[in-house]
């Protein structure tokens, strides 16, 4: 082979050193594009590389998505939500379902300064549905917001309704601005019963609830879910605090700054030496 740069040769050496003790052709890294592998070598410690490689392969992640998931430490959040799946789901679904839900969820792509109520957060998430689906993970399909459930002579509305294509289950998401309270589990249990009766088909598995709260006490959550007969996961969500959000430029401001001509400070003149470096 000819024309290989020194940088490429170093990556090849690092690649062989990183995976030298395993049959490389059986590993996910062998099925990923070379650019993905360079990201893994540069950004991920050895113990977690195969985890991200497998996740990237399963989710068909682009390189930019892979970088995003690494930067948000997905491997530390995935599968960490508190659930009652062992008591409420069939044995063959428990592990798969538990691994789909994370804690915390990072919703810092919404404008936290305008969020004072659950409905405001819901609208902000719908406006950023692409980012929301990326944070939820592979397999989530958006069904609707404020999804109407007619029970008896009353109407009830689910904040967000999704369908998971691998679980073959509807996922009800309820947003809470404060910390988890035990009564949240009872309300979610009601929603899931209604979705199972009114929306779910005979080919679908049991619907699953996800309660997203600003905070939680783990022991309180476990007690609240103990005798609930519908599968529910509880996790926190994080948004960028309003006090910080104003310090970061918007995409429009960044675009304008890139279009602006470069100016030099008064005490600095351009060098006459073309080989000089700034």
Q: Which two tokens stand for residue 137?
A: 């993970």
Q: How far apart are CA 24 and CA 257, in angstroms?
A: 45
Contacts of 263 (CB under 8 A, 6+ apart): none
User: Within 13 Å, how many C-alpha atoms sit on residue 66's CB side?
Assistant: 30
Q: For 20-24, 31-35, 36-40, 158-162, which range has the lowest pLDDT when averaged over its residues?
A: 20-24
- pLDDT computed for residue 278 by the predictor: 43
pLDDT per residue as tens digits for the range 129-174: 999 999 999 999 999 999 999 999 999 999 999 999 999 999 999 9
Torsion angle (degrees, nearest 10) of CA 98, 216, 106, 125: 100
Q: What percent of the chain has pLDDT over 90?
A: 58
Q: How far apart are CA 221 and CA 61, in angstroms?
A: 33
User: Where along the chain do its domains lie?
Assistant: 6-71, 77-245
Q: Locate all alpha helices (DSSP H) within 19-62, ordered by sequence.
A: 34-43, 46-59
Q: How many CB atoms lie within 10 A of CB 211?
A: 26
Q: Which two tokens stand for residue 22?
A: 């395993």
- Residue 149's nearest CA partner among 187, 121, 99, 116 is 187
Domain 77-245 has CATH 3.40.50.720: no
Rg (CA), the chain: 24
- Residue 27's nearest CA partner among 55, 53, 46 is 53
- Residue 180's nearest CA partner among 235, 139, 130 is 235
Q: Is the pLDDT of residue 40 over 50?
A: yes
Q: Is the pLDDT of residue 176 over 80?
A: yes
Contacts of 31 (CB under 8 A, 6+ apart): 57
Confidence (pTM): 0.77
Q: Is the pLDDT of residue 193 over 80?
A: yes
- pLDDT computed for residue 272 by the predictor: 45
- Residue 180's nearest CA partner among 209, 217, 210 is 217
Q: Which two tokens stand for residue 150?
A: 């007619």
- pLDDT computed for residue 244 by the predictor: 43
């Amino acid at each position: 082979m000819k024309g290989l740069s020194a940088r490429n040769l170093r990556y090849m050496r690092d690649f062989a050193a990183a995976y030298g003790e395993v049959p490389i052709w059986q590993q996910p890294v062998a099925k990923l594009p070379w650019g993905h592998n360079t990201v893994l070598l540069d950004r991920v410690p050895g113990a977690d590389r195969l985890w991200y490689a497998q996740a990237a392969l399963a989710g068909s992640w682009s390189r930019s998505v892979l970088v995003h998931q690494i930067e948000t430490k997905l491997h530390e959040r995935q599968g960490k939500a508190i659930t009652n799946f062992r008591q409420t789901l069939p044995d063959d679904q428990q592990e798969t379902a538990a691994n789909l839900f994370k804690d915390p969820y990072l919703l810092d792509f919404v404008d936290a300064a305008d969020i004072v109520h659950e409905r405001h957060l819901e609208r902000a998430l719908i406006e950023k549905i692409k980012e929301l689906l990326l944070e939820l993970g592979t397999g989530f399909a958006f069904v609707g917001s404020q999804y109407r459930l007619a029970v008896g002579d009353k109407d009830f509305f689910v904040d967000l309704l999704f369908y998971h294509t691998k679980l073959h289950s509807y996922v009800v998401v309820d947003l809470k601005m404060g910390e988890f309270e035990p009564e949240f589990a009872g309300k979610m249990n009601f929603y899931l019963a209604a979705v199972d009766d009114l929306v779910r088909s005979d080919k679908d598995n049991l619907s699953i609830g996800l309660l997203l709260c600003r905070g939680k006490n783990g022991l309180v959550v476990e007690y609240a879910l103990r005798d609930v007969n519908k599968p529910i996961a509880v996790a926190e969500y994080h948004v960028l605090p309003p006090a910080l959000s104003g310090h970061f430029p918007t995409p429009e401001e960044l675009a304008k700054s890139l279009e602006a001509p470069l100016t030099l400070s008064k005490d600095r003149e351009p060098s006459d030496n073309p080989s000089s470096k700034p």
